[in-house]
Chain A
């Protein structure tokens, strides 16, 4: 049996949240988010058996969400912000279950078409990783290719993360 169309749409735009909350949010400039790492995350059972460490690609995802929301909010969530390039990523330490990591992101440059960010991941004062990224405002690139009207990047799921930091009427994918 095929899923109803609206259900398919939901699957299509489904996003997963990989950070727990924001600690600081300075519109258009910088943000700090927090993530708790738990052994209940099933991938840690296999990565690696007997030696669970957070995969580096998922540290990149956490930074992409922190920096991506920062970039999106800078344009009142009118742009579809897509991670386009990892400019640089260096990892200094493992992250293990029970760790709390903080993700510190800063906007380095922002233009109508794109933004670049720099960032650090820390555990307490220990530097875990440095990650710089480029985000594309996808409607303004790709030679005028058309994307759906609604903002499929910033869905209502982001509302709770930003509550208390930004004006709620702007959050959550309203065009």
Chain B
């Protein structure tokens, strides 16, 4: 018996990124999820290697960084989201954030490729911009997981720059047994990307 618990298993990878004006970047990932959810196996956080931009037309940073994690829950509310933050080194050797991006783990089982737009918070006033420029400290999120909450965003200004490609394979267990339908009966599922 499942005791009202279902499992969601995710395998995949953070494949690559496109950031036209930067070099030497790496990424961190973490998951954010509701209170009914827990991780049963796999790593909740990770940091990739520092990648250099390819010297061809693709202009991409390949990380090929694995994701492998299993969640359990009793309720789809608070479905896990992956939050990716990309960092790089600036001309003075400071670690600077180059982008944050997030998306939900795909809900219906299957294979998905997604391109996540990445954005960085911006200073709101001219004075702050000036101090950032002088001190080399840019605005960043202390806890990137708050991006998954959807609250309190109205106070931030961001600039979107760059994209990260992520590939997901998901399997679910017992979710249909609990009465949930996660895909339409007519068409199985269409792999969609923006």
Partners in one complex: no
